[in-house]
């Protein structure tokens, strides 16, 4: 018997409310403070905006060694990228109000670049770096209203109103905005790009502090998948599976979901980012679940595909193909491997598997070159994961995104290094929008068995995804405890 819908929803609502509650009126004051820093009236200097001296017993909050090391990595990366004596300002960002939502706001997280350097969720804050003097944290003052309504306490750091004086003391030196530029701050995208690329590269290898949070998120995710697996039976709805799974995340230490949970039943399993609805599982349906818990901003990202009852011969054949491709992809996640090559190897295996299945015609290499496989595997093999999903993914400087259907959706193009955590998530789908496209039918009239493709158009989709840590000794599957056999 499943837990009642009301009890599970109450558990989720309480957990998320305690974690994310924000009040728009207090955040608006934060925003106004930051804007004032960068919008001195004509004829006034930045020094004119400085408030009276700030008295507090605040102490330096940067006491954790891992944060000190991260800042050193960032400073070194910027130096190598040609920072010179330029200043760097990293903005935390501001909450966004829900249109027409009175005092409600969308859930707020500080910008990932700011959080990685501070581990702070202080809206409106700015972290500065002067190559000659080091780092300074500027934070808004907490108001009496914020103390009363939210129980907020003062974040450690220099008062934000002292930032204009800090900049004025360095007049004549160029400064670059990263993170989320505060309102009114000048932003030079061309100058910021190489420094952002350098910071992303510095962020990619996960330290032990980050890996610990990810392992905790994965443990909560594994518990949620155990609950979901027990619910794969006729009558359970996508929404009910989502509710019970996310409730188990919360019970097992998850502080939220890392992204919108995907639960797709039947043909919905072919929708890559499907939002769960009222559709109920029927006997023989595929059920694709892509979900992950989050712990202190660090994410798990896992996909499993189930069958409600004994699998058909076609379901088993395609599932075993996807599983084989995933396992081979994991083995290729070694230091020095080019991610694009890992993806193309998986694409070739899928193409050959679909030839053996009778769906594609021709040689695997030729089919991949023609992008025929992309009709059934239309996304990249994976991406980085860590401080959020797709954390610090991207392209090495000088590399650009391909326009080919089989490569256009790659989320990263770079060599793997020790400490990287990547998802490996091949899939095979029967997507009506791709199968019914007349241009696709014309281009691939000789390479696709369209009679079989049309017969399987209600098949749905299969995806299997794990989180893999690249080490000097080889890949470590962080999500290995979550079963993936039919």
- 270 and 165 in a single domain? The answer is no
- 73 and 153 in a single domain? The answer is yes
- 216 and 258 in a single domain? The answer is yes
Q: Which residue, 203, 224, 245, sits at the end of a domain? A: 203
Is residue 45's pLDDT more than 60? no
- 327 and 437 in a single domain? The answer is yes
**Domain tally, the chain:** 2
* Domain contains 165: yes
Per-residue pLDDT band for 13 (boundaries 50, 70, 90) equals very low
- 388 and 466 in a single domain? The answer is yes
* Domain contains 109: yes
Strands of the 134-139 sheet, one edge to the other: 158-159, 134-139, 126-130, 87-91, 175-179
CATH number at residue 148: 3.40.350.10
Nearest to 303 by CA among 381, 239, 233: 381
Per-residue pLDDT band for 400 (boundaries 50, 70, 90) equals very high
- 267 and 335 in a single domain? The answer is yes
- Coil, helix or strand for 338? strand
- 104 and 47 in a single domain? The answer is yes
- 239 and 195 in a single domain? The answer is no
The Cα-based distances of 105 to 34, 98, 197, 257, 355 in angstroms read: 19, 5, 30, 18, 50
Share of the chain above pLDDT 90, in %: 81
Q: 37: which residues sit within 8 A by CB, 6+ positions away?
A: 49, 126, 160, 161, 163, 164, 182, 184, 185
- 320 and 215 in a single domain? The answer is yes
- 213 and 199 in a single domain? The answer is no
The pLDDT of 342-352, averaged and rounded, is: 98
Stated pTM of the model: 0.87
Per-residue pLDDT band for 35 (boundaries 50, 70, 90) equals low
- Domain, as residue range, for 319: 208-477
pLDDT of residue 30: 46
Phi then psi for residue 198, to 5 deg, are -65, -40
The pLDDT of 326-355, averaged and rounded, is: 98
- 224 and 158 in a single domain? The answer is no
- 171 and 264 in a single domain? The answer is no
Position with higher pLDDT, 186 vs 48: 186
pLDDT, tens digit (0-9, with 9 covering 90-100), for 285-311: 999 999 999 999 999 999 999 999 999
* Domain contains 483: no
Q: Which residue, 141, 176, 203, sits at the end of a domain? A: 203
* Domain contains 375: yes
CATH number at residue 455: 3.90.230.10
């Amino acid at each position: 018997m499943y837990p009642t819908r009301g009890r599970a929803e109450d558990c989720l609502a309480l957990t998320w409310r305690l974690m994310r509650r924000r009040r728009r009126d207090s955040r608006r004051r934060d925003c106004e403070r930051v804007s004032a820093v960068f919008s001195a009236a004509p004829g006034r200097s930045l020094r004119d905006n400085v408030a009276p001296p700030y008295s507090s017993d605040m102490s330096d909050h940067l006491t954790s060694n891992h944060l000190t090391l991260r800042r050193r990595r960032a400073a070194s990366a910027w130096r190598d990228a040609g920072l010179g004596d330029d200043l760097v300002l990293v903005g935390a960002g501001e909450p966004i109000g829900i249109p027409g939502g009175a005092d409600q706001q969308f859930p707020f997280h500080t910008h990932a670049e700011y959080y990685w350097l501070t581990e702070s969720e202080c809206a409106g804050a700015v972290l500065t770096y002067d190559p000659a003097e080091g780092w300074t944290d500027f934070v808004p003052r907490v108001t009496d209203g914020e103390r009363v309504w939210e129980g907020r306490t003062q974040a450690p750091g220099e008062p934000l109103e002292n930032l204009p004086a800090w900049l004025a003391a360095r007049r004549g030196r160029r400064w670059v905005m990263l993170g989320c530029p505060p309102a009114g701050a000048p932003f030079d995208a061309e100058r910021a790009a190489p420094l952002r690329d350098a910071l992303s590269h510095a962020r990619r290898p996960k330290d032990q502090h980050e890996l610990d949070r990810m392992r905790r998120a994965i443990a909560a995710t594994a518990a949620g998948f155990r609950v979901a697996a027990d619910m794969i039976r006729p009558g359970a709805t996508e929404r009910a599976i989502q509710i019970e799974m996310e409730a188990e995340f919360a019970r097992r230490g998850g502080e939220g979901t890392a992204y919108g949970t995907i639960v797709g039943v039947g043909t919905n399993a072919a929708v890559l980012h499907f939002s769960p609805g009222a559709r109920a599982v029927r006997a023989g349906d595929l059920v694709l679940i892509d979900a992950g818990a989050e712990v202190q901003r660090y994410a798990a990202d896992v996909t499993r595909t189930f069958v409600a009852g004994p699998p058909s011969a076609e379901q088993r054949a395609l599932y075993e193909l996807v599983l084989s491709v995933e396992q081979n992809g994991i083995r290729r996640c070694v230091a020095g491997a080019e991610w694009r090559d890992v993806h193309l190897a998986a694409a070739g295996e899928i193409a050959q598997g679909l030839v053996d299945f009778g769906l594609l015609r021709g040689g695997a290499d030729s089919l991949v070159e023609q992008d025929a496989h992309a009709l059934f595997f239309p996304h990249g093999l994976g991406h980085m994961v860590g401080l959020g999903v797709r954390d610090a993914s991207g392209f090495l400087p000088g590399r650009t995104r391909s326009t080919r259907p089989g490569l256009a959706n790659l989320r990263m193009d770079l060599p793997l290094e020790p400490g990287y955590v990547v998802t490996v998530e091949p899939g095979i789908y029967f997507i009506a929008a791709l199968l019914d496209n007349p241009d696709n039918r014309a281009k691939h009239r000789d390479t696709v068995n369209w009679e079989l493709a049309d017969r399987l158009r209600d098949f749905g989709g299969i995806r299997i995804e794990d989180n893999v840590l690249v080490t000097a000794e080889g890949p470590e599957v962080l999500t290995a405890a979550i079963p993936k056999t039919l």
